Structure 1
């Protein structure tokens, strides 16, 4: 196999830039879907189950896209970029329509479409780093992706708040999503499409060395269901060990995405979502009371989204530091991941007893340290153990360890809160903290590859 050339900073940046749009989609979904659901009348203990669309679509879509992207070669768009483009078009459409949902079931259905579309774009991006970069640049590449993800998370999480500061109304009638959220989602759709196009137009992929042999081999490998089952059964041992770490890591973040809005608006801001059925809108005093309670909830929800953005900002800064370090020195990926998960666990646990809302900035900053590591270190620890010609399918299968814990949380978190924690959603974030600590302990079984990243010549190209 021909050795892969080292890439410059800007080449790696451009090939990863599409992740900005993907993270705009994920951050708007993660920060504001529960707000949309509650505005449309969802009960707080039903929110995790409404969120089940996200992990289920990932479970189905990512291995399939990984399988097909390994077997694709388009003369103009290459192997991974066709999937970037298809996912971006579908995601942008779903983002535009999502906040205009007239009923709860419509919003839940659009979440299925949105998450499936984001997954179509996202899965090939992980494989593209391994496709394009030599071994000694992969940690650097994954960390640079995380830097871009952090930028996207911080900006998108603050979009409704920023739009409201520009004078767009942040309130609406019962069952109607505020205009500030609608405009934020429209901006997210534009950024998603534009950033994917940057990667599509600035990045070229390496064609198979023997195109006819590539096509013949892929034709002879049977159907994708049998292929996925075979690869699951024969996954590398390192993937199974990392799977336990991923399980507890992503259970923690799913609990945050689905329950942070009700948990923090209720426990920290003392402004829970009002139930329209509890107010008689024909009585002026009752209608005014609802409007006042709803305004308090919407404003608190804006601030929760804004504070959540600090985990994106923190992850961006951590990724920046790691990228400078990984470009110059060997990086002990296992040790970095262990420490990061512990700090994230402390951040989640601290949310239960913050003395005032502004302290959530520090809590989410600690969560961001773990987020930066979760988005880079597991993939760097895995990539050395996966055959290059099956990178797409194995990255897709690896993401099963992301979506399975989310399915577990979606089905069990609501009943657990209801039966064991007095239906207080703040305890979902306490569960998140404990889960990250357990994930850190599971790293004891993970091997750091014998190969360590070494200082690379691309340093001379980073200015």
Structure 2
């Protein structure tokens, strides 16, 4: 074990953050370039772009939970999380290289259509990211003690990852998305293949092996109860898409919304069991709160291009890509420096849950302002900086909050279940919100939906108990 790991020094936290940084950078490239490439280079409409984005969450539903369960129990290549980080990193790098060459890949395989190949590449890319994201986050909990050191691990993760995210969007804004994609592929390979060999993982996750709970599909379904409404709608919408069935009503959407709100209210009304190995009610509350955050955030990521095309029609294709890259650059600058420098000290004083709730509420307000003021570049950039406050918290503090409500011996499993509060809302956005947005003429609706979702999230977070 390296001396810096024994001392839990800042340099070790930086090293520990690099594998997650690799996957975060891959995700940043995907966010910045995927919709732009599919719209401008391959001529897909906004609804088809939503279908491509839907492929990733489908991969995440299976990938993170399965990898989490396996990585809790296996040991090879001198690690529990290391093998999955290495495999996922290689695949992610290769799929990034494939993104700007979808037409070449399609023609070489003998396919005439672009959409199917784009979905396959997006699916593989997101599966690769998901294969690695779970272990890169779980390993932080594995090698840090509960409490302030755990919070420090996840805030440093976001600071380091966010700093590279700034680099990603700076490259996109300055040299364009193609330069970003090729640079990103190389960086992902380096950061996912080298750092894991300098982090020593514990051979046993818990001193008491009896703490391991047996888990099956029924147990997984029970533990994600607040997400049942979203899950049911995702299945329904997927069946319609795959079968080509067209409907002219919104009964399914209304039923799913009622089920979701009812289950969330039931969840936040329950009392947390703080005397058990796994605080299942507390975990469920975190799932409910985090899922609404991601409905809002994913709506912005996928459909900001539709908002800009509507509100800034004079922009050419290259300028449109640069405005998107600059917007996410500003968002990332805020998100890069706040977690370790600002959020961690504040969390020590007022608690992680309260700190996160305030950040989420500020994001809801900023989204509402973008809907009405974001048609001007200056306004959009200023509001993106404010949105970065909430974004910096979403991708750091919930991991620390969640990790102390679950069985430490099954961190990979619960990290995978926690990821369902991300991927199921992502799928909802691609299949349901995307269809809704495509039918509304005024694309301000993109940020109106985001504002409402973040406001609900902030309300739910007020019901989560601080450990």
TM category (shorter chain) comes to 0.7 to 0.9
1:258 aligns with 2:302: yes
1:403 aligns with 2:404: no
Q: Deviations over 1:41-79 (max 9, x none)?
A: 1112443232101211111111001000001112x4311
* Match in the other structure for 2:456: 438
**Residue matched to 1:91:** 92
Structure-2 residue corresponding to 1:236: 280
The equivalent residue for 1:380 is: 400
Matched residue, 1:319: 339
Q: Find the aligned partners of 1:384 and 1:301 in 2 and give their Cα distance.
A: 40
Q: In structure 2, how many angstroms separate the alpha carbons of the residues matched to 1:223 and 1:138? A: 25
Matched, 1:150 2:153: no
The aligned runs of 1:5-16 (5 Å cut-off) are 7-16=8-17
Inter-CA distance 134–431: structure 2 relative to 1 (3 Å threshold): same
Rounded Cα–Cα distance in structure 1 between residues aligned with 2:417 and 2:37: 31
How far does residue 444 in structure 1 lie from its aligned partner after superposition?
Answer: 2.3
1:117-132 alignment runs, 5 A limit: 117-132=128-143
C-alpha displacement at 1:378, in angstroms? Answer: 1.4
1:244 and 1:360 map into 2 onto residues whose CA distance is 29
1:35-434 alignment runs, 5 A limit: 35-39=36-40, 40-74=42-76, 76-102=77-103, 103-136=114-147, 137-164=149-176, 181-208=177-204, 225=217, 228=220, 236-267=280-311, 269-271=312-314, 296-322=316-342, 325=345, 329-330=348-349, 332-352=351-371, 353-354=373-374, 356-419=376-439, 421-422=440-441, 424-434=442-452
Q: Which has the larger radius of gyration?
A: 1
Shift of 1:262: 2.2
Alpha-carbon displacement from aligned partner over 1:133-177 (angstroms, at most 9, x marks no partner): 01131111111111122112221123233224xxxxxxxxxxxxx
Mapped partners of 2:47, 2:307: distance in 1: 11
Alpha-carbon distance in 1 for matches of 2:31, 2:335: 16
What's the offset of the Cα at 1:264?
A: 1.7
* CA positional deviation for 1:27: 0.7
Give the 3 Å change call, closer, same or farther, for CA 223–342 of structure 1 in structure 2.
Answer: closer
* C-alpha spacing 1:335/1:229, structure 2 compared with 1 (3 Å): closer
Structure 2 match to 1:24? 25
Indicate how the Cα distance of structure 1 residues 209 and 191 shifts in structure 2: closer, same or farther if over 3 A, else same: closer
Is the deviation greater in 371-380 or in 226-235?
Answer: 226-235
| Cα offset, 1:223, TM superposition | 8.1
RMSD of Structure 2 on Structure 1 (CA): 2.6
Residue 46 of structure 2 contacts residue 438 of structure 2 at CA under 8 Å; is this kept in 1? Answer: no
Q: Indicate if the aligned counterparts of 1:341 and 1:440 stay in contact, CA closer than 8 A.
A: yes
Give the count of matched residue pairs: 398
> Which SS does the other structure have where 1:51 is aligned?
helix
Q: Structure 1 pair 25/127, CA: closer, same or farther in 2 (3 Å)?
A: same
Contact 1:31–1:308 (8 Å) recurs in 2:
yes
- The structure in which a higher percent of residues are helix is 2
* Structure 2 CA distance for aligned equivalents of residues 443 and 323 of structure 1: 16
Asked if the contact 2:88/2:132 (under 8 Å) is kept, the reply is: yes
The verdict on how the C-alpha distance between 1:210 and 1:41 changes in structure 2, with shifts beyond 3 A counting, is: closer
Matched residues in 2 for 1:442 and 1:344: separation?
15
Contact 2:163 2:337 in 1 (8 A): no
Distance 2:433 2:169 in 1: 24
Alignment partners' CA distance in 2, 1:115 and 1:300:
24
Contact 1:72 1:79 (8 Å CA) reproduced: yes
Aligned partners of 1:210, 1:415: CA distance in 2, in Å? 46
Distance 1:12 1:208 in 2: 21
Q: TM-score, normalised by structure 2?
A: 0.79
The 2-side partners of 1:90 and 1:47 are apart by 22
Kept in 2, the 8 Å contact 1:66–1:392? The answer is yes
TM-score where L is the length of structure 1 = 0.80
Distance 1:209 1:239, change over 3 A: closer
Distance in 2 between residues matched to 1:14 and 1:448, nearest whole Å: 29
1:217-270 Cα distance to aligned partner (Å, 9 max, x none):
99xx87865674576588711111111211110001111111012212331x22
What are the ranges of 5 or more consecutive residues in structure 2 without an aligned counterpart? 104-113, 226-277
1:90 CA displacement: 0.4
Q: Which runs of 5+ in 1 are unaligned?
A: 165-180, 273-295, 450-463
